[in-house]
């Protein structure tokens, strides 16, 4: 999913030490299958922002402000303008054309980045809120500097979705079920509080002082509260992306 790739790119970019008041811009392409049943795998264009200006930052498409920066802990507030799992009804499949579109939602969040002091492991925690509910995430990752150009960052993460969030994206209303002419959608479905877990390998390659390359490989699995929905798939999501940035 496009949003998953963008959020992971934000994590990837934040692991690379970028000097303050330096601006990185770029673009890339991501590829993933869909959490929705019948939806085709797609490739997406991706914007790559990596901006640090004083206490303000932009990572991927997330914009934030650091209100506390310590030696091992940073706290920030941020805006995620493209959160959620959007889908158009015609993209889910011919059996689900009565399903209403699910749209992106803007979310305001709080972020904590922590250096655990244990074997170089770092942690990132976010909690964000929007019109259709809330989402929380915790990530553990460790950057490995292979040489002065290449950084590998393996990570694991878990997300939690509120009931309102899950139901908006993965639930089926009475009206949607009643309009359906397919035997795949005979009753409504209310999605409850749910979670997902995933693992990611990210890479950052410094081609020269101005240009860096970024790549991602990962997988994410959703809990039964989501996969039991008649409009979703039980299969995990596999993601991959590659991009390039230019630094001023």
> In 3D, which of 199, 206, 60, 198 has the Cα closest to residue 145?
206
pLDDT tens digit string along 32-62? 899 998 888 888 888 888 888 888 988 878 8
Instruction: Pick 3 or 140 by higher pLDDT.
Output: 140
**What's the domain range around 172?**
2-247
- Rounded to whole angstroms, the Cα distance separating 221 from 185 reads 23
- Overall domain count for the chain: 1
For the chain, what is the mean pLDDT? 86
CA neighbours closer than 13 Å in the CB half-sphere of residue 218: 29
Taking 90 as the threshold, does the pLDDT of residue 133 lie above it?
A: yes
CATH code, domain with 241? 2.40.160.40
pLDDT > 70: percent of the chain: 89
CB within 8 A of 107, min separation 6: which ones? 79, 80, 83, 84, 128, 129, 130, 135
Q: 236 falls in which pLDDT band (50, 70, 90)? A: very high
pLDDT for position 121: 93
Taking 90 as the threshold, does the pLDDT of residue 96 lie above it?
A: no
């Amino acid at each position: 999913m496009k949003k998953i790739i963008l959020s992971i790119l934000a994590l990837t970019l934040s692991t690379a030490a970028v000097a303050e008041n330096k601006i990185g811009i770029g673009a890339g392409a991501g590829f993933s299958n869909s959490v929705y049943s019948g939806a085709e795998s797609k490739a997406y264009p991706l914007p790559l922002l990596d901006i640090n200006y004083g206490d303000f930052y932009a990572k991927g498409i997330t914009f934030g402000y650091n209100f506390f920066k310590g030696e091992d802990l940073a706290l920030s507030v941020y805006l995620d303008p493209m959160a959620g799992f959007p889908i158009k009804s015609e993209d889910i499949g011919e059996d689900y054309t009565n399903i209403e579109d699910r749209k992106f939602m803007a979310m305001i969040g709080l972020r904590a980045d922590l250096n655990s002091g244990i074997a170089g492991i770092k942690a990132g925690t976010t909690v964000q809120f929007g019109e259709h509910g809330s989402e929380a995430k915790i990530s553990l990752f460790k950057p490995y500097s292979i040489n002065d150009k290449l950084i590998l960052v393996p990570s694991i993460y878990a997300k939690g979705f509120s009931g309102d969030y899950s139901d908006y994206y993965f639930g089926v209303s009475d009206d949607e079920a009643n309009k359906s002419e397919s035997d795949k959608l005979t009753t409504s479905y209310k999605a409850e509080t749910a979670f997902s877990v995933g693992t990611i390998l990210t890479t950052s390659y410094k081609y020269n002082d101005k240009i860096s390359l970024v790549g991602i490989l990962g997988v994410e699995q959703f809990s039964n509260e989501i996969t039991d929905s008649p409009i979703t798939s039980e299969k995990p999501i596999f993601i991959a992306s590659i991009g390039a940035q230019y630094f001023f």
